[in-house]
Structure 1
Amino acid sequence: MEALSTLRPAAAALRRNPVLFVVPAVLALLQLPQLVVQTVSPFVGGIVSLLLSGVMLLALPFLQAGLIAMAHEALDGQTRLATLVAAGKEYYIPVFLAFGVLFVCNLVVFGLVFVGVFVAVVVGLAQPGSSTALFLVLGLAGLVLFGLYLLVVFFLQFYVQAIVLDDLGPFAGLKRSASVVRSHLGDTFVYSLVGGGIGALFGLFGAVFSILLTSSVATTPTPTPLADVYGPLADVSLSLPLLVVGFLALVLLTTLFGGFFGTYSVAFYRAIRPTAA
């Protein structure tokens, strides 16, 4: 089972090359300003978040390509930041184009879901008697659409690895990812479960911290619906020292997970890629 056997070489590569944590640390630090600003002003925090999202969209292909190339080197021995810069420059355009294709697909999917919800609300208000059936139909369509979206993500998740490791163009990289996954469905499913499970554990802290942060910066009592969802967390407020500790812990956990998952993904892809790529 390649999904499990590649865990050890990935961990060994990280021990030899702690520099692999640099890229996820940079990504984590890019997220930090919006969280800090949010504690002062949610409105300004929203603006900062929007600006940083634009920066992330432009920087992510460079950092992704660089991290994949560094992990590839680290699995065979040592790597360095020069590899990040070289690979980021060489593969920025193909990774950016492939990322753009997936980004547009995301917009289309969530745009269709939004339109469906809007139509359901409008029709439900105009004709209350037919709203239940319409909600059921649109809900089922939304689930099918979301399932297809997850299926596409599942098959195309190794496009960056394919572009960088196999020196392919954007569309060839997407095609190679789909082909490799199709040939190793069981292994890829287990790999996704392992990565998703570890990611969920790290993400749980981020979700709880986000709830506590929202509660801490609220200037009015928490509305009842929010309290119903968050439960006792909605009434907790964090002191400044706890906020600082929370920010540092969030950065650390994001860095650890990003470094591990980036290296693990490369180790797994190398194990299942065509031998004559």
Structure 2
Amino acid sequence: MDSAAIDRFEASRGRLASLAYRLLGSAADAEDAVQDTFLRWQAADREGVEIPEAWLTKVVTNLCLDRLRSAQARHERAAGDWLPEPLLGGDPMLGPADTFEQRESVSLAVLLLMERLSPVERAAYVLREAFSYGHAEISGILDITESASQQHVHRARRRIAAERRGRDEVDPASARRVVEEFLAAAVSGRTERLVALLTADATAVSDGFGLAGRLLRYRTRERIASYVRAGFKPTPAKRRLAGGTPAMHIALVNGSPAVLAVVDDRVVGAVSFEVGDGRVASLHGIAAADRLGRVNQAWRRQEPDVPVMHAW
């Protein structure tokens, strides 16, 4: 393959990776899909490809759909034991972030909600909301009619909006202050303050350090506060599991404020917060090592700020 063909592909690589991540919710799977797309590009009759960008988009989208439809993916995701892989702020795989819809489409909360969509609904929604493709273009990518594209996007929007009602974009500085206050209350053991800092319909999801064998879900303020307090309560077992005493840093994860627990320059846990009306609306806790690989790569490349506190 000549250098011009390679350059054409590389010019699209970032966009393809961002699209694949939104469809799959996994950075590792997204990278695999992009690599498979490159192999298809390498083997293709490129002289017959009129618009390389459109061809590559169609290929990577359909490779992702194949993965979403696979028996293994259906089993894992249907069992409810799946959380999106978090990405640290600035990761190019987060992709376009010019509009509220683009930023929203890559939040952990929306990536998790998209699990309830069919693979085609998810693809149509992402192509439309995050990448501004028209329905004529989407119909060509997904091999469906324009009418079907409109219906898929409409259903996806309606289902996600039903869960996202009242969620507006929050000033990052304000959101960080709420998270700092929440973290201070968690470490101090002031459970009643934690309850007050949660919205009435707050939810929390955790992978239980990857040890529970299933996702842990909490749907009342009192249960969430107890879960958070227990998570920050110092114990020798937690120190052994983490490999030491974690330093707590506040960072951006998938566009939302998050607390990172770091031991010896290694992120051992991440809790992402969604903030609304000055309170915490949802939490996503991820500590399974196989979901933190890309976060750790990004963390080691940057100069970390001073931790807000130490725990355990």
With the shorter chain as reference, the TM-score category is under 0.3
When Rg is computed on C-alpha atoms for both structures, the one with the higher figure is 1
More helix, by proportion: 1
Q: Which has the higher contact order (CA 8 A, sep 6+)?
A: 1
Which one has a larger percent strand, Structure 1 or Structure 2?
2
TM-score (norm 2): 0.25
